[in-house]
């Protein structure tokens, strides 16, 4: 029986633990997938173990267990290694970090098979703590090696996935601002989402502030009673919530494990909803996968992050006897994920038109790109058009003559144009 490509999957990759979720059409939200059937253990160690005598590989909890009683190599900090280009030595052999990432992702995504034996991935979002282009490219390469192309996958940072999570909660939880406290090994970070409903689509902005020097993981470990840590956290919360209209407060990160923060949170929950959990980003990635599949509420909101573009790019095309504006790039994407490649047949046309719509300024620009010399070919040909971004404001459009079958080989002509799509301030 052919496998159905329908799964909407989110993965949160961190150096200590990773998580995987799959969107459920029963609960209509992303559900955590666990290793070894233990529903309490949805956090899976980001570790691999190579057993020397059998040349077998193990991952997650199984890797940690094997390391205690078998001879071999335990590989941790896989994400940190994949953020660099340094080789990893195993049994005297140098191994590319992307291959370790590929091996880990293969086992992690393999956890879907027992739950969904006849289905495969339709859309996958992998979220990481922060943008690192080496890591992002390694993730895309690892996924490509596993047969999952960029058409089906996207890499987003934690902030983007928090926005996806928050905007997919019940309407009453996003009436006013939304706050997140994230306490990891680097310390405490604060994020505040504000929604401007006077614009169309509604624009979403995020304010962030670091409290890592004030409240860090080292201080947490040294404070045996947690009284000092609780006092510091209480003052931080009191300061950031002062005179703020906040509907929901989310609290996540290994620094919040235990009960030390609960009395502080109870004090500030009057008139606000407070949620404490460790799978926010993984679930946010699951919601983001649903958005990529065109089944979410992305059309209502536009997230204006530091790395998101604010333009739609389309191209007029004739299809099925009528002219349409074919979408190439959608506003709200991170610039490093914004790319598209299509092929078309120019019908005695020697230039193309691109329409660039700035959704914030409601401004439309039209750009003509000439394919000089194409008219000299006097034959049918296919043109490949590629659009990608070099940074948040610079778009590169490339056109290539692909020929038309064996009878009309490609002339290898290439046309390129750089467009500035920066918002005017």
Whether 424 shows a pLDDT value over 60: the answer reads: no
> In terms of pLDDT, which residue wins out, 335 or 377?
335
Whether 154 shows a pLDDT value over 60: the answer reads: yes
pLDDT 10s digits, 388-399 = 999 999 999 999
Please state the pTM of the whole predicted model: 0.88
Using left for φ > 0, alpha for ψ between -120 and 50, and beta otherwise, residue 30 falls in beta
Mean pLDDT of the chain: 90
pLDDT 10s digits, 34-84 = 987 666 678 999 999 999 999 999 999 999 999 988 899 999 999 999 998
pLDDT 10s digits, 18-27 = 999 999 988 9
Q: What is the mean pLDDT of residues 362-388?
A: 82
pLDDT at 419: 94
Ranking 61-70, 272-281, 374-383 by mean pLDDT, the lowest is 374-383
pLDDT at 349: 76
pLDDT at 1: 45
Q: How far apart are CA 164 and CA 178, in angstroms?
A: 12
Q: What is the mean pLDDT of residues 98-107?
A: 96
Could you give the angle at which helices 280-292 and 158-167 cross, rounded to 10 degrees?
80
Domains of the chain: 4-155 (3.30.420.40), 161-281 (3.30.420), 311-420 (2.60.34)
pLDDT at 278: 92
Give the tokens for residue 2.
Answer: 């052919």
pLDDT at 425: 42
CB distance 86 to 77 below 8 Å: no
Task: Kindly state the helix (H) or strand (E) to which residue 99 belongs, with its residue range.
Answer: helix 97-109
CB distance 191 to 178 below 8 Å: no
């Amino acid at each position: 029986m052919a496998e159905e490509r329908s799964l909407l999957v989110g993965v949160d990759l961190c150096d200590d633990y990773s998580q995987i979720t799959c969107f459920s059409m029963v609960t209509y939200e992303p559900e955590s997938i666990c290793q070894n059937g233990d529903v309490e253990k949805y956090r899976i160690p980001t570790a691999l173990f190579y057993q020397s005598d059998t040349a077998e590989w193990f991952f997650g909890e199984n890797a940690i267990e094997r390391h205690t009683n078998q001879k071999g190599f335990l590989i941790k900090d896989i994400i940190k290694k994949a953020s660099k280009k340094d080789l990893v030595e195993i049994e005297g052999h140098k191994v590319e970090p992307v291959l370790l990432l590929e091996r880990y992702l293969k086992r992690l995504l393999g956890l879907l098979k027992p739950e969904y034996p006849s289905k495969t991935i339709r859309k996958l979002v992998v979220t990481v703590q922060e943008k690192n282009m080496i890591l992002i490219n390694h993730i895309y390469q690892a996924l490509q090696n596993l047969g999952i192309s960029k058409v089906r996958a996207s890499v987003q940072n934690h902030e983007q996935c928090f926005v996806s999570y928050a905007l997919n909660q019940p309407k009453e939880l996003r009436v006013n601002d939304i706050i997140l406290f994230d306490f990891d090994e680097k310390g405490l970070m604060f994020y505040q989402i504000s929604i401007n409903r006077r614009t169309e689509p509604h624009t979403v902005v995020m304010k962030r502030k670091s409290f890592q020097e004030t409240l860090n993981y080292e201080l947490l470990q040294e404070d045996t009673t947690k009284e000092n840590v609780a006092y510091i956290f209480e003052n931080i919360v009191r300061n950031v919530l002062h005179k703020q209209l906040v509907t929901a407060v989310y609290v996540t990160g290994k620094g919040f494990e235990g009960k030390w923060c609960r009395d502080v949170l109870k004090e500030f929950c009057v008139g606000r909803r407070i949620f404490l959990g460790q799978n926010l980003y993984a679930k946010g990635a699951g919601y983001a996968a649903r958005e990529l599949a065109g089944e979410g509420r992305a059309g209502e909101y536009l997230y204006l992050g530091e790395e998101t573009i604010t333009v739609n790019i389309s191209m007029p095309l004739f299809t099925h006897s009528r002219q349409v504006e074919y979408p190439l790039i959608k506003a709200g994407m991170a610039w490093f994920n914004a790319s598209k490649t299509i092929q078309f047949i120019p019908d005695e046309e020697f230039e193309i038109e691109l329409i660039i719509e700035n959704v914030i300024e409601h401004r439309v620009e039209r750009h003509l790109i000439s394919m000089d010399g194409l008219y000299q070919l006097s034959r049918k040909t296919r043109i490949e058009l590629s659009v990608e971004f070099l940074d948040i404001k610079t778009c590169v459009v490339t056109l290539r003559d692909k020929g038309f079958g064996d009878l009309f080989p490609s002339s290898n002509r290439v046309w390129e144009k750089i467009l500035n799509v920066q918002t005017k301030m």
